[in-house]
Chain A
């Protein structure tokens, strides 16, 4: 998520063009940082040692980390830590920008500091962002003091998006609202010892980004067929949520609802804009009461 958040910031600030950013994402897809390079940059190995392991690797069917441990260059714990770094999206993003000669490391760091200031993020927030974990990132974009269960409902929805719809989603600043005008939407409530609703709404064809990915087909318009797919995605998320909170509340799924016609949602709403495959949709959550429409 951080590569998408910071990437769109760099474009907005004129540091990268849209086309350059696309190239960066393409590079990230193709190139994964080599473990040896990370080990050297972390000063755990010398370049000579890394080269030696690379040569051995060419003739032996063993992983870099295992060979480095066998040779006594790294401990198993260090390998674990390096593997964590290798998977780090922020580092891959930065490397892809530098490798394409779009920006220098210094320019990136300067922009990252600006990004931090513009958004009022603390140093801890920045660590959360760079972690790449949606459960640590998304709360930074939500209002403070959300009840625990509602936060979990939203985070679970985001994990659902990442797993079932688009692994590259990112969010904008969410807000609390008692009134939200929506165009096409799908929603599902949970009822029992407590009440909750999760809705997804989008303008024009935006909601099709969710429908297409979930149903595995291409819808032309946001009609009932498409919205049914969105509703079924919400159903999957809500099923997991109901299971998760069932020790606290006996709460059950209600059949979903959807409509291609606009309507007004009222209630104690938390609205979170989510970028999905180039479109923006709104994730709208209510907990303790249903969304009224």
Chain B
């Protein structure tokens, strides 16, 4: 079981993801709706795993990833992308993202990735 922070501007996606995770016994300890809020929540809650949406207002997922990794070099971050966005994924890997999932969420895939971490 992992303590998870969900960062996504879409409440639909947060809700779907929370549902999948909680159903499988994980604990969603906080949610944030943009990158800036996500960084704050990370520092506040020290989650085991953070999911970071890429396309968000105020601060996008890539910038938030950099900030989180500056604060905690061991942060475990799963980037969430709309299917595709490969160039963004390459950039995120360079910046220390551990894994990727694509929207719409596939339950088995997400759970496998979290197990692995």
List A residues at the B interface (Cβ < 8 Å).
164, 214-216, 225, 228-229, 231-232, 235-236, 238-244, 246, 250, 252-256
Contacts and interface: CB of A to CB of B under 8 A. Distances in A.
B10 A228 contact: yes
Contact of A236 (B11, B54, B86, B104): B104
Contacts of A215: 12, 15-16
A112 B13 CA distance: 43
A238 B54 CA distance: 13
29 contacts: A164-B104, A214-B12, A214-B104, A225-B11, A225-B12, A228-B11, A232-B13, A235-B82, A235-B103, A236-B82, A236-B103, A236-B104, A238-B82, A239-B103, A240-B82, A240-B83, A240-B84, A241-B84, A242-B82, A242-B84, A243-B85, A246-B86, A246-B87, A250-B87, A252-B88, A253-B55, A255-B9, A255-B57, A256-B10
A241 B10 CA distance: 19
Contacts of A232: 10, 12-13, 103
- B11, B16, B55 — most chain A CB neighbours (10 Å): B55
Interface residues of B, number: 22
Contacts of B56: 255
A275 B106 CA distance: 27
Contacts of B50: none
A232 B103 CA distance: 9
A244 B86 CA distance: 10
Contacts of A238: 82
B84 A244 contact: yes
The 3 closest A-B pairs by CB, nearest first: A239-B82, A243-B84, A229-B12
Interface string B41-82: 000000000000011110000000000000000000000011
Interface string B76-111: 000001111111100000000000001110000000
Contacts of B13: 232
Contacts of A236: 82-83, 103-104
Interface of B: 9-13, 15-16, 54-57, 81-88, 102-104
A163 to B, nearest CB: 9
A229 B16 CA distance: 10
Contacts of B11: 225, 228
Contacts of A241: 84
A236 B83 CA distance: 6
A270 to B, nearest CB: 22
Nearest to B102: A239
A242 B88 CA distance: 11
Contact of B85 (A229, A231, A242, A254): A242
A229 B83 CA distance: 16
Contacts of B55: 235, 253-255
B10 A239 contact: no
A238 B83 CA distance: 8
A255 B15 CA distance: 18
Contacts of B86: 243, 246
A180 to B, nearest CB: 25
A75 B11 CA distance: 54
Contacts of A250: 87
B85 A239 contact: yes
B84 A228 contact: no
Nearest to B9: A255
A242 B104 CA distance: 16
A232 B82 CA distance: 9
A254 B9 CA distance: 12
A156 to B, nearest CB: 10
B109 to A, nearest CB: 15
Contacts of B83: 236, 239-240, 243
Q: Kindly name the residue among B11, B54, B86 whose own CB sees the greatest number of chain A CB atoms within 10 A.
A: B11
